[in-house]
Amino acid sequence: MPSTGVQSNEVLSYIFGILAIVLNGILSASMYKERKRIFVTRISFLVASLAFADCLNGLFLIILRQPIKEIEYKSDALLLIQQPLTWIAFCASLLTVILMAAERLLIVTLPMEWSTLLTIPRTLLCILAVWLLSIGCGVAIHYRRYYVQFVMCLIVEISALFLIATHIYIVWMLQRREIHRMVVNQNPSKDTPGLPTPPNKNSAHRKVTMVVTILLSVLIVTCVPYFVIIQMFVINNTFDKTVAENVNLEIYDRAFVYTFALLYVNFFMNPIIYAWRLRMYRKAFYSLVGRSTS
């Protein structure tokens, strides 16, 4: 018997969409207020791009996808732009996290060369490339919806799993290197001179690497279930019918709507992770709140 009224997954999606708009909007406003102090590093531009993409994801969910079906409005124009715009925001957010992770990997693997390779202008070009690729993905979905969705999900899954594995190793290696440094400094010998205390820049690299590792972990937990459901649907509707024959369609439909709601946890969790792990963004937020209440 079909259910009526507002469903729990619709309420969750609506709440998560509003949280994505509010939290990323606050992060963006905080960064803009302290722009002279914040926008002096590459990571700040990446964070701003990610916050903008995540805010768009919340806006497109509320305005275009309209998760609560009881108040849903449909039109031909809305149906035409719904999928492309939604996937542009999806891709921009997920690819920006992957770009962050690739940058961290380059910094650790090329400690002597990364400062000449990674500059703010090149980071801005990479961000532009991410958005152009995302727009291209959205346009392609308009014409080849299922194939493009399948390929994009596969790219994000493989990239995220590879990068999370490498980042866990990087964090472990940095911690081990720091422990070794502390031991040598506490017990110096003639044969092994004391190592200098790592500068603040190295400490910042470790913090940002940890933040990116957490972002990747949240991305995998929240996004991969939805991507797997999409891939099952695409395989069933384009290659064979084994999914429909072997999977209870009611269970599949329930899994689809709840994994879709879970997907939006990723978009409102990102600014929380920044504020939790990076003091610079906490201070910018407190400054914004202090001025608003004064």
b/e map of 239-258 (b: 16 or more CB within 10 Å)? eeeebeeeeeeeeeeebbbb
**Domain boundaries of the chain, sorted by first residue:** 4-68+75-183+205-290
- Of the two residues 139 and 286, the one the predictor is more confident about is 139
Q: Roughly what angle, to the nearest 10 degrees, separates helices 145-186 and 200-238?
A: 150
Calculate mean pLDDT across residues 148-177: 83
Mean pLDDT over all residues of the chain? 79
Does residue 124 have a pLDDT over 90?
yes
Residue in the block written with tokens 């719904």: 82
What CATH homologous superfamily does 4-68+75-183+205-290 map to? Rhodopsin 7-helix transmembrane proteins (1.20.1070.10)
- Of the two residues 179 and 104, the one the predictor is more confident about is 104
Given this model, what pLDDT does residue 289 score? 62
- Provide the 10 A C-beta neighbour count for residue 51: 27
Q: Which of 52, 50, 61 is nearest to 87 (CA)?
A: 61
pLDDT in tens, 29-66: 888 888 888 888 888 899 999 999 999 999 988 887 77
b/e map of 165-180 (b: 16 or more CB within 10 Å)? ebbeebbeebeeeeee
Please state which of the ranges 17-21, 204-208, 250-254 shows the lowest mean pLDDT.
204-208
Neighbouring residues of 17: CB distance < 8 A, sequence distance ≥ 6: 57, 58, 59, 61, 62, 67, 264
Q: Name the token pair of 140.
A: 């392609």
Calculate mean pLDDT across residues 131-158: 89
pLDDT in tens, 206-237: 777 888 888 888 989 999 999 988 888 887 77
